[in-house]
Structure 1
Amino acid sequence: MIKKGMIVLAGAFLLAAAIFFFQRFYVEEEGKAYGESNPAKESVLPQASLIFSENPEEENLAGMLQEETSGMMVQVLARGSGGSGILYNGDENELTVLTAAHVLGQENESVWVVFADGWAVECQVYEKAADADLAFLSVPVSDIPKEHLETYCRAAVDKESYDFLEAGDGVIVMGSYGGPGENAYEGTLQETWVYLEDFSQYMMLIKAPAVQGMSGGGVFDLNGHFIGLLCGGNENGELAALPLALIEAEYEEQN
């Protein structure tokens, strides 16, 4: 099965995102302690909370996920482009942010990561996957005050839940148009593994609403487990996402 006409979801939100970015960064930047050691270097990101519902058809699961994972999503801003990102891992030295590679624009350009609380950090170290629309950004923990770091969390990953996914399962897509994690919609997983010519890659295919600026955002099952990375969509409401299996393979290769 081949789907054509996929377009990337990055870029059109830049004006609103830039206004948000500079307003929030200006306020927060004044509180940054230059020249001092940062005790937050010893911190490790906790896993994002999961969601559970006895009546999933009657509740706003997308809204529940936004509330439980408010510290997980980020904005990724580059000159001439921008999109979403997800906190994927973190240790005492650096946080790893996932995004779609096309969000980063040209090589060697400045990239800024804006966290859910408005704190912004320039990211100078990142790696793009050779064969996928995927990039790993390394954000130094030393650039993040402890009181900010304590509010962040990493995506919840469960390989068993991912392995049992089937076409027809409900999913949630989340992105950062206008602000980290501000866009969340319920949808349906149409294909778990299908080759898409536009990406020259095996991808997930999802039916769900989306807006430009959601590239690099996440796809989650209805309990909130991270299962894929948003990369593009078409006018029919079909979204392409890089599956977790490929993300983890690339991550292990990078590390």
Structure 2
Amino acid sequence: MMYPETNFNYDNNNENKGNRKQRRQNKSRRNLHKAAAVLAGVAVIGGSFWGGSLLTQNTENTVQAASTMNLSKDETTPDIVASSLTDYSDLAAQCLPQVVSVTNVIEVTSTSNGGSDLFNFFYGNGQNQNQTSTQESEAYGSGVIIGKTEDELLIVTNNHVAVYDKSGNTMYYSYTASTKERKVTFVDGTEVEANLKGADSDADIAVLAVKLSDIPEDTLNAISVATIDNSDDVKVGQGVMAIGNALGLGQTTTFGHVSALNKDVTTSDDNVTRSMMQIDAAINAGNSGGGLFDANGHLIGINSAKSSGEGVEGMGYAIPISSVEDLINNMMNQKTKVQIDEDQRGYLGIQGVDVPTEYVQRFGMPEGAMVTKITEGSPASDAGLQLNDIITAVDGQKVSSFETLRSALSYYAAGESVTITVQRPNGNQYTETQITVTLADRSTITDTTEADTEEGSSEAETQEPQVQMQKAQ
């Protein structure tokens, strides 16, 4: 997992043992208040990965229209008092079928920089030329079953579990790493392919979909849909159970209490601050995306992060389910995104760069992908996209960088139309504009260099029923 941010205090003065002890205590308190947490993702197996880091870089159907599926009350759930529990086996048996393990298969492509004699001496067969290699790695996380339609089973997880898109450069090579495939494993050990339905990096929430036709009947009988409860009613000291794919070794349960509410937690992987519940139930690598359940077996949070460092124990964090309920319900009703063959992918025909975080913070520029070049006659040109436009969303899915733009467009085929949200410079401010673009085949875009800056995939547009999470009342 990612290493947490650490504050170092340097003091050149001599001090006695008691002062050193007091300084360590004060330092520990400061670090705890900072709550710099690590995303609870597991180590990526294969390649040069550890917990979402790539080397030194900080580094996812057609149905008939139906009536809305509301969050319904579970009348059969016993009213268990957490403080009186001495045997959690019934609670675990109730909730384990609602949790899945998630495997993210990541494809890593690295290209050596041909100008490096040292690198080529060791890795390039002595030839001064660029060389490209591709390998696969696997990252592990968890998810919770939160809905079912006529054709799909829907699973909520963390964005950092479901979506992986990174790139970078070093002195000797450049690389890209992105999700190639997603798989989920149910409580009975059955593994099936999953596709991305929606994702939000700011909220760190994503929804996956699994085709019911891919799930054996015995497995369907062994699993169940989670019932959510109002996390706004959760109290400090309340008993909780966390379930997840700890260390990628399969489902485990841990028990504890709610330690604090509304904690502002900044995760070191993405440097985003979120309001979370703090719990003392053990949260380990691989627990990300798993469920936090109350004593009645109702889902009240999504396990997401933990504090890590010297002197830190029992500080896990979960996203309160009620804070993301509307977002999840929206994602559940989005079109399922399925990759298609490369020769069918659609392209905008642009080049772009990330808006630096420093510019966002210092100058108030929008976060997104800035357009730096537009191919003449391309879909982007025809639709009216302009230089210096900052693309912030594709069909409502947030774009925070050029890599996330590529990822968002990776679910659309040539000939499909997408709505691009852009922030356009207007004097000293930016004006938001919606632009509809019909993507084109790469061969129709004359500047192949620009066309190669975007890769995409999709399936035909479908109509899906409105579906929502099942809710306790």
Where in structure 2 are the equivalents of 1:78-157 lying within 5 Å? 78-79=104-105, 80-104=138-162, 105-106=164-165, 107-157=178-228
Q: Is the 8 Å Cα contact of residues 170 and 186 (structure 1) preserved in structure 2?
A: yes
Partner of 1:252: 329
Structure 1 position 170 matched with structure 2 position 243: no
Q: TM-score, normalised by structure 1?
A: 0.77
Could you say what the CA RMSD is over the residues aligned between the two structures, in angstroms?
2.7
**Residue 25 (structure 1) aligns with:** none
Number of aligned residues: 222
Q: What is the CA–CA distance in structure 2 between the aligned matches of 1:116 and 1:48, rounded to whole Å?
A: 24
- Which amino acid counterpart does residue 221 of structure 1 have in structure 2? D
Higher relative contact order (CA 8 A, sep 6+): 1
Identity between Structure 1 and Structure 2 (%)? 27
Write the mapping of 1:197-216 to structure 2, written as runs, cut at 5 A.
Answer: 197-198=266-267, 199-216=272-289
Q: Does the 8 Å CA contact 2:206/2:328 hold for their aligned counterparts?
A: no
Distance change in 2, residues 1:137/1:225 (3 Å) = same
Q: How far apart are 1:91 and its partner, in Å? A: 1.8
Amino acid at match of 2:322: A
Tell me, yes or no, if the aligned pair for 2:99 and 2:145 is still in contact at 8 Å: yes
| Rg comparison, structure with higher value | 2
Q: Which residue in the other structure is 1:218 paired with?
A: 291
Q: Given the alignment of the two structures, is residue 195 of structure 1 paired with residue 269 of structure 2, yes or no? A: no
Structure 2 residue 102 is matched with structure 1 residue 72: no
Q: Deviations over 1:43-83 (max 9, x none)?
A: x9x9797455478445132x332212232111100123111
Tell me, yes or no, if the aligned pair for 1:83 and 1:103 is still in contact at 8 Å: yes
Q: Hey, what does 2:426 align to over in structure 1? A: none
Are 2:102 and 2:141, in contact at CA under 8 Å, matched by a contact in 1? yes
Structure 1 residues 141, 55: CA separation in 2 closer, same or farther (over 3 Å shift)? closer
| 1:31-70 pair list within 5 angstroms | 50=77, 52-53=79-80, 56-57=83-84, 59-61=86-88, 63-70=89-96
Matched residue of 1:121: which SS?
strand
Match of 1:18 in 2: none
User: Which of 37, 43, 46 is matched with 1:12 structurally?
Assistant: 43
Letter in 2 for 1:95: L
Distance 1:112 1:164, change over 3 A: same
Within a 5 Å distance, the mapping from 1:232-251 to structure 2 comes to 232-235=305-308, 236=312, 237-251=314-328
Of 303, 315, 318 in structure 2, the residue corresponding to residue 230 of structure 1 is: 303
CA, structure 1 residues 146+10, in 2 after alignment: closer, same or farther (shift >3 Å)?
A: same
Given that 2:242 and 2:254 are in contact with CA atoms closer than 8 Å, whether structure 1 keeps it comes out as yes
The 3-state SS of whatever aligns with 1:245 is helix
Question: Unpaired runs of 5+ in structure 1?
Answer: 16-43
TM score, norm. by length of structure 2: 0.43
* Counterpart code for 2:90: M
Q: Is the 8 A contact 1:9 1:211 kept in 2?
A: yes
Secondary structure of the 1:167 match is coil
Which shifted more, 46-55 or 207-216?
A: 46-55
Displacement, 1:232? 0.8
Is contact 2:160-2:201 (8 Å) kept? no
Distance 2:188 2:76 in 1: 18
Letter in 2 for 1:163: D
Cα distance between partner residues in 1 of 2:317 and 2:297: 19
Change (3 A) 1:232 1:151: same
